[in-house]
Amino acid sequence: MKPYKDLTKEKLLALKKDLEAEYKEAQGKGLKLDMSRGKPGISQLDLSLPMLNILTSEDKMTASDGQDIRNYGVLDGIPEAKQLMAEMMDTTPDHVVVFGNASLSIMYDTVSRAMLKGLLGETPWCKLDNVKFLCPVPGYDRHFAITESLGIEMINIPLNDDGPDMDEVEKYVNTDQAVKGIWCVPKYANPTGISYSDEVVRRMANLKPAAKDFRIYWDNAYAIHHLYVDKKDEILDIISECEKAGNPDMVFEFASTSKVSFSGAGVAAMATSKANIEDLKKTMTIQTIGYDKINQLRHVKFFNNKEGLDAHMMRHAALMRPKFEAVLDVLNKELGGLEIGSWIRPHGGYFISFNALEGCAKAIVEKCKEAGVVMTAAGATYPYGKDPMDSNIRIAPSFPTPEEMREAAELFVLCVKLVSIDKLLEQM
Amino acid sequence: MKPYKDLTKEKLLALKKDLEAEYKEAQGKGLKLDMSRGKPGISQLDLSLPMLNILTSEDKMTASDGQDIRNYGVLDGIPEAKQLMAEMMDTTPDHVVVFGNASLSIMYDTVSRAMLKGLLGETPWCKLDNVKFLCPVPGYDRHFAITESLGIEMINIPLNDDGPDMDEVEKYVNTDQAVKGIWCVPKYANPTGISYSDEVVRRMANLKPAAKDFRIYWDNAYAIHHLYVDKKDEILDIISECEKAGNPDMVFEFASTSKVSFSGAGVAAMATSKANIEDLKKTMTIQTIGYDKINQLRHVKFFNNKEGLDAHMMRHAALMRPKFEAVLDVLNKELGGLEIGSWIRPHGGYFISFNALEGCAKAIVEKCKEAGVVMTAAGATYPYGKDPMDSNIRIAPSFPTPEEMREAAELFVLCVKLVSIDKLLEQM
């Protein structure tokens, strides 16, 4: 297929007419599909149903340290849950604190604690005139929402195929005291699906921050969320890399079983240095009497260890692959060679990130919506919801069925073509 | 028995000698009892064990509104959980937001949200020079810890037998713009066990705060925690009283099933006005993707409704009464008429509050500890851990067995006598 940009005006107009007829037909189908959020499908949730039968009134109600899992107490998680979450994050249990059901809450809390109480004795951020976070883009809208809601200034950093542009990151972090953090999704990044190279992780660990309370907010949300048995991305363990670099306190790592067991009823954890954990516990002890230890033990009994987690994730992958492939097949078949969009074939995670021609993303998403397919809002993958190029669109293939995904993808490419033609005609 | 204060020095010295011998003997017993926290006993936790079998892989995984309880979503709780928690708090579901496993976390969050974001458009407290909370005393140490940790100034308000001294409360709230809140445990108060009279609740609802963002933090922690079937304290519903008084937004009410089902794995909720709920949700949506809906449904299936909760609480009461009565019997028998201490016989809740002679509480708690019985630290029931009279001691009878409680109480009265005699001798 010839690139659209090389077509004549007449060719484009003729093409547009055909595509508009197709679009009209698609609108008539009454589609109602939601590809907006990274929400597991029902069959994925069913995979963990047996977990509901694994801890009954007949079972022992004590953790390995003898604590009654039903009563108050244990701030940082039962030992076996720390072990499981440590294995998930490729670190050791002494680095881990286990929380409640959502890593997003831990992240919000971690930033809001820094605002109100400060980190390791540094000035609380709410007392400062200016606090900035670096945001590799495109990135995760809920990260940006946390920093935006707390009045933290966000700075876009280009996200390359091997991670954030480290020249830019070093420039800001090593010189500007107001830069207090960077949001990272280091593995199967949300939304581009890329994983950080060893070089990027090492440069990250070797930052020389101007601010003592600069931290890397390392959201390892997709640590074990591979799509292929034989194509697994692996990243370096940021905790030990920071230790080696003499920056042991510089990272907060987050993970959860939200997309492993149940999205609303999983177990979330943080990994960080002992000094940070001690600092954190001073506030935790005021904030809570402890998290749900029954659910922690339920998870440990169901997954046992890393092998159990990995085996379970392969069952997820079997359900996810056909959905990803449905989208990618349609993209390749329909848009290959047209030069009106680019995308990456991810090895894991929850998203396919699509870059349209500059200035087309909003119109494409709107056009999809008018035909019954809801995508993540264009711009959502950028701080303040503002994609400077109006180009990036996040596709979340997990919730619909593979058949629905194919239908949705077909509508999507139709909208991409139509909007791109309009854009090209405009420029003629 | 004659009051100690009427005894001669010789009598007191002779008595002291006998009591010291008794104390020595008690020390020899090697007691190891903890009456420091309001922690349910193991047999109480066993009451809810069948709840672990009530939601299995065979059951329907949807809430009454069709939402999949396993997936993301539903910020404010599934409808049937709102209904159950509303019944517990004597309000209606439209006033209720259901959270995770601990009401303490909701309280911390509610205050920290006011610090960082402000309430209903008012200035965030972290931007103000001075923020004050009223603290009826004696009160709950974890309330005071929240406000202390956030740098909020605390003002002691006397707690009478029918609630806080409302003249004092009105004086502060109605005139001082810096007064932003009051901590209340309106029913079976922690630690005194008293419940607020209708007059106190009405005066509370009719406050005319100088600060628009003044709120009553109404911790209805013991809403259904009666000790006797035939002696149940009832209090007015603060939510509707505030509505009647034209102050609908003035109260945040908190409750949980921590001392109903499992202390670490219950369900917690807040009740407040619709305007406050809308305000709250703006932050909640940034803070979390939702709380554990599986556990919410588990609770609903187990308790069904208010009647189910009440019936369950009577089983708790049957286990708690002998412990309370063991302590009260010993107090009456051993200290009755001596005028070296006073206490209230509560109709519910988790504590017996003891007032020793002025200047004696710390020494009594220390003496108990030296013989193996750990009490809540003296002073803990006051802001900053400072009881100006050094008089109040909180006894938490729930965790030990009735036999252990009797032993502990016997040691306690021995320590009260010894320390009181020393105090009286000092004053001669």
Answer whether B55 sits within 8 Å of A52, measured CB to CB. yes
Parallel/antiparallel/unpaired status of strands A251-256 and A268-271: antiparallel
Contact A72 B100 (CB under 8 A): no
End-to-end CA distance of chain A: 21
3-class secondary structure, B405: helix
Cβ-based contacts of B262 with chain A (< 8 Å): 70-71, 294
Q: How far apart are CA B79 and CA B83, in angstroms?
A: 6
Task: Give A160→chain B minimum CA distance, Å.
Answer: 27
Which among A126, A146, A264 is the nearest to B294, CB-wise? A264
Q: Which of B42, B49, B115 sits opposite A116 (nearest CB)?
A: B115
Beta strand spans in B237-311 (E): 251-256, 268-271
A264/B56 CB distance under 8 A: no
SS3 A208: coil
Q: Under an 8 A CB cutoff, do B112 and A117 touch?
A: no
**Rounded distance, CA A335 to CA A111, Å?**
41
CA distances to A42, B22, B319, B368 from B27, in Å: 61, 9, 28, 9
Are residues A264 and B49, on separate chains, in Cβ contact within 8 Å? no
d(CA A341, CA A334): 11
- Rounded Cα–Cα distance for residues A367 and A38 (Å): 21
Chain B residue with minimum CA distance to A53: B56
Can you tell me the distance from the alpha carbon of B179 to that of B216, in angstroms, rounded to the nearest whole number? Answer: 11
Print the SS3 string covering B320-362: HHHHHHHHHHHHHHHHCCCCCEEECCCCECCCEEEEECCCCHH
> Structure tokens of B52?
């672990």
- Neighboring chain A residues of B42 at a CB cutoff of 8 Å: 68
Decide the pairing of beta strands B132-137 and B179-184.
parallel
**Cβ contact B287–A105 (<8 Å):** yes
Host H or E run for residue B33: strand B33-35
Torsion angle of C-alpha atoms B77, B80, B85, B91, degrees rounded to 10: 110
Q: How far is CA B102 from CA A72, A109, B223, in A?
A: 10, 15, 15
A21-33: per-residue pLDDT in tens? Answer: 999 999 999 999 9
SS3 A217: strand
- The pTM assigned to this predicted structure is 0.96
Contact A196/A187 with Cβ under 8 angstroms?
yes
Site from B45, B294, B316, B376 to mutate, A interface, most A CB atoms within 10 angstroms: B294
- The alpha carbon of residue A118 is apart from the nearest alpha carbon of chain B, in Å, by 11
Non-local (6+) Cβ contacts of B340 within 8 A are B3, B4, B356, B357, B416, B417, B420
B324 CA: distance to closest CA in chain A (Å): 20
Q: Are strands B179-184 and B215-219 parallel, antiparallel or unpaired?
A: parallel
Burial of A132 (0-12, 13-18, 19+ CB in 10 A): buried
Contacts of A205 (CB under 8 A, 6+ apart): A238, A241, A242, A244, A245, A247, A250, A251
> Which residues fall within 8 angstroms of residue B129, CB to CB, at 6 or more apart?
none
User: What pLDDT score was predicted for residue A34?
Assistant: 87
Alpha helices in A61-165 (DSSP H): 79-88, 103-116, 141-149
Q: Any idea what the Cα angle at residue B177 is, between residues B175 and B181, rounded to 5°?
A: 100
Contact (CB<8Å) A265/B149: no
The distance of A316 to chain B (nearest Cα, Å) reads: 15
Chain A contact set for B145 (CB, 8 A): 286
The answer to whether B300 touches B84, Cβ cutoff 8 Å, is yes
- Chain A partners within 8 Å of B149 (Cβ): 117, 283, 286
Nearest to A104 among B53, B104, B288 (CB): B288
Chain A, nearest residue to B290 by Cα: A264
First CA to last CA distance, chain B? 21
On whether the CB atoms of residues A23 and A418 are closer than 8 A, the answer is: yes
**Selection from B369, B403, B324, B319 nearest residue B36 by Cα:** B369
The helix-helix angle for A141-149 and B274-287 (nearest 10°) equals 130
Q: Which two tokens stand for residue B377?
A: 């630290």
What is the distance in angstroms between the Cα of A293 and the nearest Cα belonging to chain B?
6
Residues of A in contact with B146 (CB under 8 A): 286-287
Average pLDDT for runs of 10 along chain B of length 428: 94 97 95 90 97 97 97 95 98 98 96 97 96 98 97 98 98 98 98 98 98 98 96 97 98 98 97 98 93 98 98 98 97 98 97 98 98 95 98 96 95 98 95
**Alpha carbon of residue B422 to chain centroid:** 32
Contacts of B284 in chain A (CB under 8 A): none
Among B285, B292, B295, most A C-beta atoms within 10 A, so best to mutate, is B292
Chains A and B form CB pairs within 8 A to the count of: 163
| Residues contacting A324, CB < 8 A, separation 6+ | A227, A346, A352, A397
How far is A43 from chain B, CA to nearest CA, in Å?
Answer: 11
The pLDDT, as a whole number, for residue B185 is 98
Q: Do B45 and A68 touch (CB under 8 A)?
A: yes
- How close does chain A come to B134, measured CA to CA in Å? 19
How far away is chain B from the Cα of A6, in angstroms, using its nearest Cα? 45
Q: Do A262 and B116 touch (CB under 8 A)?
A: no
Cα distance between residue B271 and residue B254, in whole Å: 6
CB contact under 8 A, B102 and A262: no
Tokens of A417: 């073509």
**Which of A127, A154, A279, A289 best tests the B interface by mutation, with the highest count of B CBs <10 A?**
A289
| Type and span of the H or E element at A164 | strand A163-164
CA dist., res. A280 & res. B306, Å (int): 38
**Which amino acid, residue B326?**
A
* H or E stretch covering A296: helix A293-303
Percent of chain A with pLDDT over 70: 100
CB atoms within 10 A of CB A159: 23
Our CA-based measurement puts residue A192 at a distance from the nearest CA of chain B, in whole angstroms, of 22
What is the per-residue DSSP string for A318-370? Answer: HHHHHHHHHHHHHHHHHHTTT-SEEE---SBSS-EEEEESTT-HHHHHHHHHH
Contact residues, chain A, for B279 at CB < 8 Å:
none
- State the best of B62, B105, B148, B254 to mutate against chain A, taking most chain A CBs within 10 Å: B105
Distance from CA of A335 to the nearest CA of B (A): 33
How many residues in chain B?
428
- Measure CB to CB from residue A70 to each of B72, B263, B294 and give the nearest one: B263
| Cα B21 to Cα B237: distance, rounded to the nearest angstrom | 52
Distance CA B178, CA B78 (A): 37
Residues contacting residue B400 through CB under 8 Å, at least 6 positions apart = B33, B34, B35, B41, B323, B408
Distance from CA of A271 to the nearest CA of B (A): 19
Dihedrals phi, psi of B158, to nearest 5 degrees: -60, 135
* Residue ranges in chain A whose pLDDT is less than 70: none
Q: Which residues contact A174 (CB under 8 A, 6 or more apart)?
A: A207, A208, A209, A210
Query: What is the rounded CA–CA span in Å between residue A239 and residue B291?
Result: 29
Nearest to B116 among A45, A112, A290 (CB): A112
3-class state of residue B156 by DSSP: strand
Q: Do A117 and B293 touch (CB under 8 A)?
A: no
CA distance A66 to B29: 25
Chain A residue with minimum CA distance to B109 = A287
**Alpha carbon distance A137, A376 (integer Å):** 15
Cβ within 8 Å, pair B264-A292: yes
Selecting from B50, B72, B150 the residue whose C-beta is nearest the C-beta of A37 gives B72
Angstrom distance (rounded) from CA A394 to CA A36: 8
Residues of chain B with Cβ-Cβ distance to A50 below 8 Å are 57
Do B72 and A104 make contact, defined as CB atoms within 8 angstroms?
A: no
